[in-house]
Amino acid sequence: SAAAKKQYAERDMRDAFAGSRVLKLKLLGWYDCDPGDGAKLYDSLVGNSADDVIVRVRYIWSGDGTFTELELWPRADLRTA
């Protein structure tokens, strides 16, 4: 379910970024919002995230509204071809 997925995501975020200053932003997780709210949320994340963290936002449309998925990637974990 969406609730279980959100719980799982938030737990993963705590495990991955425990002790990091990004933790207080609660960036990783799934939030129900309309596109305008999502855009503001994205701006906030990009403006406040630590330099060594990449934030990605993806909109997923469902029948009952916009589903926004946020992903955090520590820069060191990114692999380039």
The domains of the chain are located at 2-77
Mean of the pLDDT values across residues 69-79? 49
Please say if the pLDDT value at position 7 is more than 50: yes
* The CATH classification of domain 2-77, taken from the options 1.10.10, 3.30.1370, 1.10.3470, 3.40.50: 3.30.1370
Instruction: Determine the pLDDT at residue 77.
Output: 46
pTM above 0.85, yes or no: no
Q: ∠ at Cα 6 (5, 10), nearest 5°? A: 120
Mean pLDDT computed over every residue of the chain: 48
Q: Each residue of 28-51: b (16+ CB within 10 Å) or e? A: bbbbeeeeeebeebbeebeeebbe
